[in-house]
Amino acid sequence: MITYNEKLRVFKLDTKNSSYVIGVFEQNYLLNLYYGAKIPDANLWKNAMRIKSASFSPSNPHFPHENYSVDVLPMEYPCNGSGDFRISALAIKNSDGNTVTDIRYISHKIYKGKPSLAPLPYIYLNNYDEADTLEILTEDKVTGVKVTLFYTVFNEIDAITKSVNVKCGENAVDIERIFSSCIDFPAMDFDFITLYGRHAKERCREQRKLAHGIQGIASKRGVSGHSQNPFAALVRHDGTEEHGDAYGINLIYSGNFEISAECDYSGTTRLIAGINPTDFGWRLESGESFQSPEAVLVYTDKGIGEMSRIFHRLYTHNLIRGKYKYEKRPLLINSWEAAYFNFDTDKLVSFAKEAKSLGIDMLVMDDGWFGKRNDDTNSLGDWFVNEEKLKGGIGELVERVNSIGMKFGIWYEPEMISPDSELFRAHPDWLVHVPNREPSIARNQYVLDVSRADVRDNIFNQMYDVISKHNIEYVKWDFNRNISEAGSALLPKERSKEFFHRFILGTYDLMDRLTKAFPDILFENCSGGGGRFDAGMLCYSPQIWTSDNTDPIERLSIQFGTSMCYPASTMGAHVSACGRTGFGTRGNVALWGTFGYELDPTKLTEDEKIAVREQISEYHKYYDLIHYGGLYRLIDPYFDSFRCAWGFVSSDKSEALFTAVIMRRIESGLFILKLAGLDKDKFYKNESDGEIYSGALLMNSGVNLTNIIRNDGDSVKLHFTAV
């Protein structure tokens, strides 16, 4: 999968359907020669040569042609201050105080397998034969800094991962910017797709044409955040779900990030992704090294839908870890929207009894069980039971719930602290803060400085003390504010810009310790809904609460956007008491995800109970198809404000489930839905009417839904099996 042509001095990295080519140019500069559909040869040098015609581009005096310049060449990993005036991937401040950085090729290694990037989360291999890795060692001769570029190429999935390691020489240096990936494209005829949002409206698809200059997305909130997601795609202007070049990039990182595209005067595009350099810095002493987060690259010429399916397959099999990677997850009901803070043991047990009669597996007790927590003004950090609310403690509650035949789960917000808490009164210096400034407060809480080992130990021990003593089988891990006045009492001023990255490393460490201590617990991440829905979190929790917005119509755009990169099995989705649509549509939308309930089961009508039992039966019936099948977005609410549709098709094309929703009634009423992903040569039985159709007919002529769903909020599922 990875070869080196010594004569051409060219590396060729091949997945099944794509090629990525790197060349060692004059003076040992590394050039990005090609990324796209698979090609058999690698003699691409003529295509990479670009005569300088920018504004006074400098030339290396040793280049074979005076018009060649790093300012116009397609640099594989461009550096700051050494002649390339475009956006740079690496800037290191040396002992002289300048940030001129210039790395050149030294050597390389090609081997089977893939190295660990721990303590960072990363894509792993199930066996060494899944992928090959290329390490390119480079050096800045002046500073002695060595920079290793890592590339891992998968043989069955059209994906490549990239990361960078910087190792200090004899003299201390400061990293001021370090990106995980850079790609130079010889064109700018792309649309830039990103996922923007806010609380309760996360990951909305935005698509715009690239323009000259720098455009991009970023977070400096301390976490990936609601506003932008660390995913982007470049798609040809004529690209669709099923046709055209699509390049996707996703950062396996939960902290401040940046993904930017720069289009220069010549119509070329540079795409970089990595840690946001704003408020970032990292001091390296002699011999120390720094590892960047991992970036995942996907290319396909089969459109945006296939790009998403490649991400989904990779993340399902090589990112999600632990017991629930493949084991069926418990179907749960969460107490939050049913009770908020107003509950006691008897109320929760009554929920459990009713939920059990409906076929639900687990009761989750949300916020309000600890300290003196009866509202959101206090007790975060005090992870001991509120026995005024839960008489007999958690032990009695868990035993009563278990005796009904229900599993039990619990809510935590480990990285937060309330000013009204025993923990804050004992350790006021443990919150994130900087000297001489009053810390901002949000949602009545501060952020704990989990960059500190003593803080992490305290929280781990408190959580361990509760979880280890009781039969708790699920943990919802929340994070309900972003970071301001970012600083740690333990960091010296020359390392103050290390805080944000150290905070994320601390979070990963805490999650790693807990998931290893309790390997049978299902962890679900949350952050004001979907405010920390990223690939880094998926290494510790196989599912993430997609949004606090459980309205099924609003959920459609959220789930469509999330699916651009993340598989259905990761998307926490529940049926709630929202009355905007009937129970059927609420269930149909939530079925595209982990599925569960967010309501008071004791208030359901008899008709609603019948509907719930039917939905639970369908959850079990379609579980494997939805969790492991290929997703096909048929009608995207980004393009159509009236209707949307999607489907799941098994890998062998023998089974499919399609869902359509009327968001707003259209005047004509005519609704013929063309399916996708089927085998055109197979014949399929429609479970609803018993009719048999060819895959070709279903995909080219479609299914007439005009008289099946017509009004606002109507929906239908269509289940097909090959005959």
Show which residues are catalytic. Answer: 478, 548
Q: In angstroms, rounded to a whole number, what is the distance separating the alpha carbons of residues 512 and 523?
A: 11
Taking alpha carbons only, the member of 551, 64, 122, 567 closest to residue 311 is: 567
**How many C-beta neighbours within 10 Å does residue 81 have?**
14
Cis peptide before 277 (omega within 30 of 0): no
Which residues contact residue 485 at a Cβ distance below 8 angstroms, ignoring those fewer than 6 apart? 432, 433, 434, 437, 439, 440
Q: What is the DSSP letter of 529?
A: T
CB 195 within 8 A of CB 561: yes
Q: 200: closest CA among 595, 546, 587?
A: 546
Task: Indicate the Cα dihedral angle 522, 528, 533, 538, nearest 10°.
Answer: -20
Determine how many CB atoms are found less than 10 A away from the CB of residue 430.
23
Nearest partner of 659 among 692, 637, 682, 628, judged by Cα: 637
Q: Any idea what DSSP says for residue 568?
A: G
> In this structure, how many other beta carbons lie within 10 angstroms of the beta carbon of residue 582?
16
β-pair type (146-154, 131-139): antiparallel
Q: What is the CA radius of gyration of the chain?
A: 27
Find the helix or strand (DSSP H, E) in which 400 lies. Answer: helix 393-403
Place of tokens 């979190």: 537
Burial 393-429 (b: 16+ CB within 10 A, else e): bbeebbebbbeeebbbbbbbbbbbbbbbbebbeebee
β pairing state of 362-365 and 332-334: parallel
d(CA 75, CA 183): 8
Q: Which two tokens stand for residue 557?
A: 């755009």
Return the HEC string of 563-614. CCCCCHHHEECCEECCCCCCHHHHHHHHCCCCCEEECCHHHCCHHHHHHHHH
